[in-house]
Structure 1
Amino acid sequence: MIKLVGQRLALSLLLLLAVSGLIFAGTQLLPGDVAQAILGQGATPEALANMRRELGLDTPAWQRYLQWLGAILQGDLGTALSNNRDIAGSLRDRAGNTLFLAFWASVLAVPLSVMLGLVAVRYLNRWPDRLISGSALTAISLPEFFVGYVLIYFFAVHLDWLPSVSNIHGNMSLGERMKAIALPVITLTLITLAHMMRMTRAAILNVMQSAYIETAELKGLRRSRIIYHHALPNAIAPVINVITLNMAFLVVGVVVVEVIFVYPGMGQYLIDHVAKRDLPVVQAVGLIFAAVYIGLNMVADIVAILANPRLRYPK
């Protein structure tokens, strides 16, 4: 088991290294000139050359990548070009806000998805199954921004129950924070709930085709007992896997939701600095998102191995 965990960790680190190279190369290929964006259109060629030299843009790209990677390994995310602030310090509170939003969305989405998946299997091909499956398919088909704007129209504009702008700060109580993030949490829950529910249903139905399930049915056991006591424990590995992957989406995929609700998280911070062509911020936030996604994928892989002993041995 230790060997398998070590292999997964080594592969994750290699993948993160490769992704860091892609992020750096992608930001370098973006159109426009950073020095021109900072100094404005009226800058002289001499001022632009001095600014590029000050930013280190006159050195080869591979040298800048190694310098950036070395600073990252030492915990230095760099300095924002637009306001000359330390990126790590600016991200500290925003990362906490993003995790706060993702935590409450997962608290709602995970138990609801498992429960609805079990209900769909319990009443397979009957109206509860058709209703749940049809609603999930509809939710998956709708993009986050559409769901968010619909919720804003009904709950913020039409009914005036919840705020349309989810602005939170340190002086707010927990109740005020919960009211502020209600709409983005509902949006994220609706998007991730459908996928997790469908995967839970599919995993349990796959196990229900096993021979030991047929034996249990022939013994006269109730269908609910077969599902909860025999099928679910053996389907838990793929269920945990898809839940963990959706947790990664809740952290990484909140960019659109944060922009819609003007939520002060990492996604909003990233979009603000993309507009300013602040490359150090884009690189740092992109690498953090990649690290979170790769790390949670690794956790999902390890949990699946722990839950299913057959995966510990080569076929």
Structure 2
Amino acid sequence: MSQIWILRRLFTVAYTLLVVSLIVFAITQVLPADAAVTLLGENATPEALAAVRERLGLNEPVVMQYLSWLGGMLHGNFGTSLRTGLPVAPTMMEALGRSLYLGSLSLILMLIIAIPIGILAAYKRGRAPDVVSSLFSYVGVSLPEFVTATLVVLFFASKLQLLPATGYVSPFDDFGASLVHLALPVLTVSLILVAHVSRMVRSETIDVLHSDYIRAARLKGLTPSTVLFRHTLPNALLPTITIVALDVGYLLGGIIVVEEIFAIPGIGRQVIVAITSRDLPSIQAAAIIMAATYAIVNTLSDIAYAVVDKRIRYD
């Protein structure tokens, strides 16, 4: 992997975020919301509204407003929340940390479940395990997040009363309690991801099992476990890296719904609160942060793919 490729990829990420910033700023400009009215209320005097617009730079041309906002963002200043009056950046980054914690646990649980299911379905192709996993995958993909979350809450929290339905505990305060409170949202997100990834693992494993080097390994008299762990899995699971990275985009979108249902103060819930209160700086910051997270994760996945598979060379 050349340094030129890495620099080129970083430039692509920066260019992508620049385009996203233009789109986000343009969309928030056409929203039917006046920052001055949001701050002072509809009963504010015209003089007070004019003073606030002057202070916030709303009287400047749109291009100057964008350049000012972009310059502040590059220095870590996403503006001040119109709802709370506090700086947006610390609030959003703290919320992002909670969402990444939820997302990381969901991805770990998904991999633990999806990989064995996909491999088992591939080895038992056409038989009962394959049929059951396929049915589970189709149901999991077809159900939206709010339906899955509702079913999980009704079964585990309401009927069995095993886990809390809502709430969030920081892992730095009580790690065990944080896992208990995040069990249902993690399960909700993981079930949908498992349905997608397990089908991909199954498909890739079947392709590898029909390859010539697997036949050669079996003809050499290698044990089934050696064929599985040394030859099949390393090649079948490589595409999973890319699929998991692409699922991060879905994860960021799905977390918005899940966090609202389970009352988790992550970036998804911050987005909903910002939209309902027409808090434009918070909306802009959340969109940029989520886009940057997705771009960075996909870049890291490409690097990881090249590190794991020595045949891949980025020049």
Instruction: Check whether TM > 0.5.
Output: yes
Name the structure 1 match of 2:312.
311
* 2:245–2:301 CA contact under 8 A, matched in 1: yes
Cα 1:305–1:260 shift into 2, 3 Å: same
Name the structure 2 match of 1:73.
74
* 1:216–1:226 CA contact under 8 A, matched in 2: yes
- 1:123-272 map, 5 Å: 123-169=124-170, 172-217=173-218, 225-247=226-248, 249-251=250-252, 253-272=254-273
**Unaligned stretches of 5+ in structure 2?**
none
Quote how far apart the aligned CAs of 1:145 are.
0.8
User: Does the residue aligned with 2:264 lie in a helix, a strand or coil?
Assistant: coil
Name the structure 1 match of 2:26.
25
Root-mean-square deviation (CA), in Å?
Answer: 2.2
What do the CA deviations read for 1:240-262 (whole angstroms, capped 9, x no partner)?
21123334544554111000111
What do the CA deviations read for 1:124-181 (whole angstroms, capped 9, x no partner)?
1111011112101210111111101111112222222222212325784222211111
What do the CA deviations read for 1:8-50 (whole angstroms, capped 9, x no partner)?
2221121111111111112112223232233333234333333
Query: Is it true that 1:301 corresponds to 2:302 in the alignment?
Result: yes
Q: State the percentage of identical aligned residues.
A: 38
Distance 1:13 1:92 in 2: 19
Distance 1:218 1:313 in 2: 35
The runs of at least 4 aligned residues of structure 1 exceeding 6 Å deviation read none
Distance 2:140 2:209 in 1: 26
* 2:20–2:291 CA contact under 8 A, matched in 1: yes
Aligned length: 314
- TM-score, normalized by length of structure 1? 0.91
* 2:169–2:181 CA contact under 8 A, matched in 1: yes
What do the CA deviations read for 1:92-130 (whole angstroms, capped 9, x no partner)?
432222222122222211122111111111111111011
Query: Is it true that 1:98 corresponds to 2:133 in the alignment?
Result: no
* 1:116–1:132 CA contact under 8 A, matched in 2: yes
* 2:145–2:254 CA contact under 8 A, matched in 1: no
* 1:99–1:251 CA contact under 8 A, matched in 2: no
Distance 2:75 2:172 in 1: 33
Residues 9-18 or 168-177, more deviating: 168-177
**Unaligned stretches of 5+ in structure 1?**
none
Distance 1:61 1:228 in 2: 58
Distance 1:94 1:305 in 2: 32
Name the structure 2 match of 1:110.
111
- 1:49-68 map, 5 Å: 49-68=50-69
What do the CA deviations read for 1:275-313 (whole angstroms, capped 9, x no partner)?
111111111111110000000011112222233344316
Distance 1:83 1:283 in 2: 15
**Counterpart AA for 1:146:** V
Cα 1:229–1:218 shift into 2, 3 Å: same
Quote how far apart the aligned CAs of 1:77 are.
2.0
